[in-house]
Amino acid sequence: MQHPWLQRLFRSLFALSLALPVSVHAQNGKPDGKPTKSLKPVTVERLLKGTEDSSGWLMYGGNYQNWRFSPLKDINRQNIKKLQVAWIFQTGIPGQLEAAPIIADGILYLTSSYSHLYALDAATGEPLWKYDHPLPDDLRICCGPTNRGVAIVDDKVFMATLDAHLVALDRKTGTVAWNTKMDDYTVGYSSTAAPLVIKDKVIIGIAGGEYGARGFIDAYDAKTGERKWRRYTIPAAGEKGVETWAGDSWKNGGGPAWVTGSYDAEQNILYWATGNASPDWNGDSREGDNLYTNSVLALDPDTGELKWHFQFTPHDVWDYDGNTGMFLVSVQRSGQEVKALAQPNRNGFLYVLDRTSGKYLHSAQYVDKLNWAKGLDENGKPKVDQQYVPMPGGNKEFICPGNVGGQNGAFTAAYSPVTKYIYVPVIESCGKMEKSTAIFIQGIPFWGGGPGAMQGDDQSSYGHLSAIDPTTGSIKWRYVDDYPLVGGTLATAGGLVFTGNQHGYAMAFDDTTGELLWQFQTGSTVRGQPVTYKIAGRQYVAVPSGAGGLVVSLVGENPLMTKGSTLVVFALPK
């Protein structure tokens, strides 16, 4: 008989992928629609400006520092209550809509589940063209068929796919320019992240850690699709770090890299986070710290050379996947300004590192419920409480946070250079994690256990949006919601923070006080990444709405919750 926790996990991770047949991908990857108007190239110089050019939103995090901040303030604290729907677009693909829309020259590019891409007029929502990537019938999908968005440079948009391809399309017509196979999907590889363009290269990470697939980060030539370098996240025999893996366990060590990285253009350093070791909940066969899982890797974007690393959760047996966004900020340290990297990790701690050297500076607990570690030592290494290590049959006590976080990398935080706060959507849910026998079979989930009973099963989970000062780690304000928050965030110079909740509301908060100033019912859980842009003198805020996967596992089969898949775009009345 299947364990109840396994039934819940399969329902959460796979039900959505089974509910919608792959045959929806008609057209054999050909675009459908009409060519757009003449567009100017998106140059590297434009990308470097990020959201300083407020007419668009050119990359997943808004800028290379991953702030998800806009200097726009036409929509502000004083007039937010007047915000209304400008237009909506329904993808027709029910389920997870987690993407950050990308906007350039009046065109909005939106991806949906199952590797679909749409080009829309950003002022009216009029469809211009679409691309449906053809997918095989036997995909290996861990956590839902999501896609988090595209990257853009020159005259191309780039999308990673569920069958581990990277596709470049002409951004005017949707015609395929090149289609490169990253790796073999049948061994467990897939890609759900939004790529990141740096100079002439498209950087993308791979998913598949739950299948024991060895993680990597790739760089491809933007013009040709030729692979320029690959950085494996797990060292091989003879390489530095392999000594942190017992025997040959590195071969199936996981270490996925499914969240878009950050880039320090001044120092020419790319930062990319890595995820859990495999098997997830049973570490007996992989004794050691298991580098470079649950880490941040500082890479040379030209060559992929590793400059430094920092590991958040050594020998992870809780599935505390380290894939959450990293913010390049400045913090005060002994009266001096330090170039830092800050990350609210899924394990419940906010980490602040020197982004030049990787030196651990300080940390803070940002979740209410944390018991797996008794804090961190002077080097940032967790002091693990052994009674909260997963056991056969499941632990007697709940382990906090649960395997979904904390902050989950699928749902972005934001940083405001005005307030100097990081705004973090948080899941407060613990789990009785269960360790079991781990047997590796290629292409089959390699878990060695499961999350067990989650506190969401007895309605004791909840969420909050917390404003955190990365210099001190102090929480400046907190908005508490009765369901875990699984929507991304956006901060603006108008004094606002946008996000959404599982009740289906898009929401806006005062960035200084945390007061809820506005909300709108979208009809489905908000779990996408809101963005803002300005066209013809009018500011727009785009909020993707669409549930599935994690939401079902945390709140159950709520009859009031529709799967949805709609982009709702707001503006002030003309």
Q: Which residues are catalytic?
A: 319
Inter-residue contact 502 to 552 (CB < 8 Å): no
Encoded tokens for 81 = 């209550």
Residues facing 321 on adjacent strands? none
Nearest Cα to 190, choosing from 211, 221, 169? 211
Q: Is 19 helix (H, G, I), strand (E, B) or coil?
A: helix
Tell me how far apart the alpha carbons of residues 497 and 56 are, in angstroms, rounded to a whole number. Answer: 18
Give one DSSP letter per residue of 212-240, joined into a string. TPPPEEEEEETTT--EEEEEESS--TTST
Cβ partners under 8 Å of residue 329, min gap 6: 65, 340, 341, 342, 415, 420, 422, 470
Nearest Cα to 355, choosing from 310, 418, 302, 412? 310
Residue with tokens 């073999």: 184
Nearest Cα to 383, choosing from 286, 314, 449? 314
553 φ, ψ (degrees, to nearest 5)? -70, -30
Please give the sequence-ordered ranges of beta strands (E in DSSP) within 115-185, or none if there are none. Answer: 116-121, 127-132, 151-153, 156-160, 165-170, 176-181
Distance set, CA 177 to CA 29, 30, 155, 203, 517 (Å): 12, 11, 10, 17, 45
Tell me how far apart the alpha carbons of residues 410 and 404 are, in angstroms, rounded to a whole number. Answer: 10
Residue with tokens 């030196």: 359
Inter-residue contact 177 to 413 (CB < 8 Å): no
> 560 in the Ramachandran plot: left (φ > 0), alpha (ψ -120 to 50) or beta?
alpha
Cβ partners under 8 Å of residue 222, min gap 6: 153, 154, 156, 158, 168, 197, 200, 201, 202
